[in-house]
Chain A
Amino acid sequence: MRSSLKHLFSRLLFCVGAAGVLSAGAVHGESEKVSYAELQKVQGRVRELFAKVRPAVVAIQIGNGTASGVVVNESGLVLTAAHVAETPGREVRVVLDDGRKVKGTTLGLDKTTDAALVQLHDTDRRWPFAEIGRTVVRVTPGDWCFALGHPGGFDKERGVVLRVGRVIRHTANSLQTDCVLMGGDSGGPLFNLRGEVIGIHSQIWEARDHNMHVSMAPFLRSWEEMKNSLVIRVWGTGSGGFLGASVDVNAAGRVEVLQVLEGSPAKTVGLLAGDVVESLDAREMRSVTQFSNAIRARAAGDEVMLKIQRGSSTQAIRVRLANRPKEDEG
Chain B
Amino acid sequence: MMRGLFLSILVPVLLRADARPALSGEERTNGEQVLKEVTPMLPEARSACAQVVDATGGVLASAVWVGADGYFLTKASETPEIEKGRIRWEAAKSAAIREIKRLPEHDLLLAQAVGVADVKPVVFDVASPLPEYGEWMAAPVKGGGEIRIGVISARARGIPGLGAAMGIRMDEKPGRSGVRVLSIAEDSPAGAAGLQGGDVILKIDGEAVADFKAVHESIKKRQPGDQVQVTYRRKDKVEVARVRLASRTRIMMNWEGEDFANGGISVRTDHFARVLQHDLPLSPEDMGGPLYDLRGRALGINIARVDRVTTFALPAGVFWKQVAPLIEADRHPPRAIRP
Contact = CB atoms under 8 A, between A and B. Distances in A.
B3 A65 contact: yes
B127 interface: no
B21 A26 contact: yes
A183 B5 CA distance: 5
Contacts of A168: 22-23, 28
Contact of B7 (A12, A19, A46, A185): A185
A78 B132 CA distance: 27
Contacts of A158: 154-155, 157, 277
A162 B153 contact: yes
Contacts of B259: 182
7 contacts: A1-B257, A43-B134, A47-B132, A168-B23, A171-B16, A171-B19, A206-B260
A269 interface: no
A-B pairs, top 3 by smallest CB distance, nearest first, are A183-B5, A2-B257, A65-B4
Nearest to A187: B6
Interface residues on B, range: 35 or more
Interface of A: 1-2, 5, 8-9, 12, 15-16, 19, 21-22, 24, 26-29, 31, 33-36, 39-40, 43, 46-47, 50, 61, 63-67, 81, 83-84, 114, 140-142, 146, 151-153, 157-174, 176, 178, 180-187, 201-210, 212, 288-289, 292-293, 296, 328-330
B304 to A, nearest CB: 14
A180 B257 contact: no
Contacts of B92: none
B336 interface: no
B155 A180 contact: no
Contacts of B20: 140-141, 169-170
Contacts of A8: 9
Contacts of A21: 12, 15-16, 18
A209 B308 CA distance: 11
A61 B29 CA distance: 32
A182 B260 CA distance: 8
Interface string B18-56: 111111100111100110011001000000000000000
Contacts of A163: 150-151, 153, 279, 309
B34 A5 contact: no
B19 A83 contact: no
Given A19-B12, A292-B17, 9 more contacts: A19-B16, A26-B24, A36-B37, A43-B136, A65-B4, A141-B21, A169-B18, A182-B259, A204-B10
B96 to A, nearest CB: 36
Contacts of B7: 67, 181-186, 201-204
Nearest to A28: B23
Contact of B279 (A84, A172, A180): A180
A2 to B, nearest CB: 3
